[in-house]
Copies of this chain bind each other. A is one copy, B any other.
Amino acid sequence: MSVTDEYLANNVEYAKDFTGPLPLPPSKHVAVVACMDARLDVYRILGLKDGEAHVIRNAGGVVTHDEIRSLAISQRLLGTKEIILIHHTDCGMLTFTDDGFKRDIQDEVGIKPEWAAEAFSDLEEDVRQSLRRIANSPFVTKHESLRGFVFDVATGRLNEVVL
């Protein structure tokens, strides 16, 4: 049995107590951007309840075109007004370089990715970089709050990064 099948069995149990549907727009008007890291259960870390906030995640919790796309849709079509950005300690993005990662792929499959891998060497500076990319976007302009944090995987605490 694959892990996917195990998770599908879990879903059958989940659905037994499910009470839905909730409305489409996030009831707390919040959008979270966070790293994909397996240790970041964003709903638990922030105490999010079903239906409250959009959750956008990728490798690093960095802001690229696709996060701008998601945030623009979140704000313009579904009314979110606060953005919470979350990176974390012990992040995989601290362990490699774009050049090395792309060279390894090129060596193996013959094609070099045309995108940046977005590796970084300074966690807090990359939180600031992501905050600045949002602040600089002409498409994400509707928020009243934009704050960035580092989640400590050893303590479970969010520590704010000031721009």
Contacts and interface: CB of A to CB of B under 8 A. Distances in A.
Interface string A47-86: 1101111111111000011111110111011100010100
A41 B47 contact: no
Contacts of A43: 41, 43-44
Q: Which of A13, A18, A95 has the most CB of B within 10 A?
A: A18
A135 interface: no
Interface residues of A, number: 91
A31 to B, nearest CB: 8
Contact of A4 (B22, B52, B84, B110): B84
Nearest to A28: B3
Given A4-B145, A10-B47, A39-B22, A96 B113 contact: no
A48 B113 CA distance: 31
A30 interface: yes
Nearest to A146: B4
Interface of A: 2-4, 6-8, 10-15, 18, 20-22, 24-31, 36-41, 43-48, 50-59, 64-70, 72-74, 76-78, 82, 84, 89-90, 92-93, 95-96, 101, 104-105, 109-111, 113-118, 138-139, 141, 144-145, 147, 153-158
